[in-house]
Amino acid sequence: MNYIIDEMHSTDWPEVSAIYLAGIKTEIATFQNEIPSWEEWNQGHSKCCRLVARSDDQVLGWVALSPVSGRCVYAGVAEVSIYINESSRGNGIGTALLNELINQSEKAGYWTLQSGIIKENISSRELHSKCGFREIGYRERVGKMPNDTWHDVILMERRSKVVG
């Protein structure tokens, strides 16, 4: 499959949000239960390190960072969000996106990337491990889905070897 990794633009939001909605519907990708507006999403995510995998004009997947805190001591720590279109999975797109995010995040001065992954989301945990993240703990029954199902969250992090 031919694709490029490119900067995410606001004009990508319809496709990005559709991929996000598909993740929401799995009930193991996020505790979010509805798609935010572009404005809400844009405000909650770091301005750098927003990437899409693109084939022609189609977005196949996306990755972005969110700050973990407004405190200055955490300026180099960010939460990773990554979503791949279901029909594009298994083609190395997630690995390529996450590795490029790591490269760009280090250039931007991030020393720690972290993810809280629903325990049952094995493919996301494996992807993060493949890209140098390690499991550092878990939070038991931390999130409840609208159908009253409780989930544990596995905490994963990647420490930069070049920043910090």
**CA 54/CA 153 separation, integer angstroms:** 30
Q: How confident is the model at residue 145 (pLDDT cuts 50, 70, 90)?
A: confident
Single out the residue of 95, 78, 85, 89 nearest to residue 132, CA to CA: 95
**24 has pLDDT over 90:** yes
Q: Is 164 within the bounds of a domain?
A: no
**144 has pLDDT over 90:** no
Segments of 8-133 assigned E as strands: 51-55, 58-67, 77-84, 112-118
Its domain, for residue 113, covers 4-159
- Name the domain count of the chain: 1
Q: How confident is the model at residue 147 (pLDDT cuts 50, 70, 90)?
A: confident
Query: CATH number for the domain including 50?
Result: 3.40.630.30
99, 102, 105, 110 alpha-carbon torsion, rounded to 10°? 170
Q: Is 109 within the bounds of a domain?
A: yes
Residue 32 φ then ψ, to 5°? -60, 140
Quick one: average pLDDT of 37-59? 96
Q: How confident is the model at residue 1 (pLDDT cuts 50, 70, 90)?
A: confident
Residue with tokens 């995040």: 105
3-class SS of residue 93: helix
Q: Is 82 within the bounds of a domain?
A: yes
pLDDT tens digit sequence for 115-129: 999 999 999 999 999
What is the predicted pLDDT for the residue at 164?
79
**CA 119/CA 142 separation, integer angstroms:** 11
C-beta separation of 117 from 127 below 8 A: no
Q: Is 111 within the bounds of a domain?
A: yes
**150 has pLDDT over 90:** yes
